[in-house]
């Protein structure tokens, strides 16, 4: 007797994955008490899924649109705590309509009258840049007070600068002979101590127009998507914003924010930022184009020069 056993195909796995994901978000909506939801997937990437949810709050009410964000990995669910923290600090953000340990429920900006999602043209708009600067200044000012005297186990990009990660970058970029790595190894305890001593505040870390919300009158703006929100230096956060803006918009941002960052943070960031970029880039199978300038800074000696300038500055101080 011949028994034909059907082999599973990639399509079968995709169906199972989709059914599992659907069951997961339905459970989250049930826990949140959302009635009669009609859901459509907006995007799903790296264990984070975003859904538009059309629902009825009460039997006789009109339907309203919401956004459900679901986290498959518990590490990514830190965004829930970040929303709650920003709300506690009264820093403008989307109102958190509900949450579970794996999901958050937010209003759908596109269906409202007050705000709109960011556009690429906002990067060239001085008025929008000034509105963004007001939000960042509030984040940094309140963030300093929030972190003062507090041991906060938050995401910190500088934590990537470990001995093991430096070795990994050296190997993957083929730069093991570069003098930077020996300089870091020879003085790592001092370098690490000075990184840890830098003044910290709350930082957004992930600026781009796709994470931006702007009021329809253009007077206010704020960032959303807080998975990478953490602690770090104010200057590093400012550099992250202004490097994406046009020259005119960046100047408007700085006039509104106020250029009161000390040179020590600037010198430290010139060393830290490209190394953080390289550590992140080396986690990909193919080296990404957005890290090529950091790799060039490594190869031409700029990162080593910035390290020496920062250490000399600290020693003189």
CATH of the domain at 166: 1.10.510.10
235 pLDDT exceeds 90? Answer: yes
Domain boundary among 80, 111, 142: 111
List, for residues 12-51, the tens digit of each pLDDT value.
Answer: 445 445 545 556 666 667 667 676 677 788 888 888 888 8
Q: Tell me: pLDDT of 157 over 90.
A: yes
The whole model's pTM is what? Answer: 0.84
104 lies in the same domain as 190 = no
pLDDT, residue 13, reads 46
Specify the long-range contacts of residues 18-26, CB closer than 8 Å, at least 24 apart. 21/49, 24/70, 24/72, 24/102, 25/49, 25/51, 25/68, 25/70, 25/103
On whether residue 312 sits in a domain, the answer given is yes
Higher pLDDT, 11 or 186: 186
127 and 193 together in one domain: yes
The domain total for the chain is 2
Q: Does residue 62 register a pLDDT over 70?
A: no
The pLDDT assigned to 40 comes to 81
Which of 83, 111, 139 is the C-terminal boundary of a domain? 111
295 and 260 in a common domain: yes
Question: How many other CB atoms are found less than 10 A from the CB of residue 15?
Answer: 11
From the centroid of its chain, how far is CA 208? 9
Residues 147 and 235 in one domain: yes
Boundary (domain end) residue, out of 51, 78, 111: 111
Whether residue 122 sits in one domain with residue 74: no
In a domain, 2, yes or no: no
Q: Which of 68-72, 140-144, 272-276 has the lowest mean pLDDT?
A: 68-72
Q: What is the pLDDT of residue 58?
A: 46
pLDDT for the residue numbered 65 = 83
Range of the structural domain that residue 236 is part of? 117-316
pLDDT band at 173 (very low <50, low <70, confident <90, very high): very high
The residue with greater pLDDT, 172 or 65, is: 172
Residue 181 has pLDDT above 80, yes or no: yes
């Amino acid at each position: 007797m011949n028994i034909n056993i059907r082999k599973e195909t990639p399509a079968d796995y995709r169906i199972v994955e989709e059914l599992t994901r659907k069951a997961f978000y339905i459970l989250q909506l049930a826990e949140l008490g959302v009635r009669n939801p009609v859901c459509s997937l907006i995007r799903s990437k790296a264990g984070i899924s975003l859904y538009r949810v059309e629902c009825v709050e009460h039997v006789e009410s009109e339907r309203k649109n919401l956004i459900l964000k679901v986290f498959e990995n518990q590490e990514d669910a830190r965004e829930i705590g970040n929303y709650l923290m920003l709300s506690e600090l009264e820093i403008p953000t989307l109102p958190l309509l509900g949450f579970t340990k794996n999901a958050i429920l937010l209003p759908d900006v596109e269906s409202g009258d007050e705000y709109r999602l960011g556009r690429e043209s906002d990067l060239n708009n001085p008025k929008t840049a000034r509105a963004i600067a007001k939000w960042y200044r509030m984040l940094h000012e309140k963030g300093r007070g929030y972190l003062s005297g507090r041991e906060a186990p938050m995401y910190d990009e500088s934590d990537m600068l470990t001995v093991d990660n430096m070795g990994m970058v050296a190997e993957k970029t083929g730069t093991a002979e570069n003098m930077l790595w020996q300089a870091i190894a020879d003085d790592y305890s001092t370098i690490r101590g000075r990184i840890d001593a830098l003044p910290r505040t709350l930082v957004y870390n992930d600026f781009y127009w796709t994470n931006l919300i702007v009021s329809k009158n253009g007077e206010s703006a704020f960032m959303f998507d807080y998975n990478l929100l953490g602690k770090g230096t104010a200057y590093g956060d400012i550099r992250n914003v202004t490097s994406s803006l046009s020259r005119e918009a960046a100047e408007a941002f700085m006039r509104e924010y106020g250029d009161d960052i000390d040179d020590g943070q600037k010198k430290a960031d010139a060393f830290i930022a490209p190394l953080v970029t390289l550590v992140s880039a080396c986690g990909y199978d193919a080296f990404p184009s957005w890290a090529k300038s950091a790799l060039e800074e490594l190869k031409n000696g700029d990162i080593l020069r910035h390290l020496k300038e920062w250490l000399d500055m600290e020693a003189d101080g």
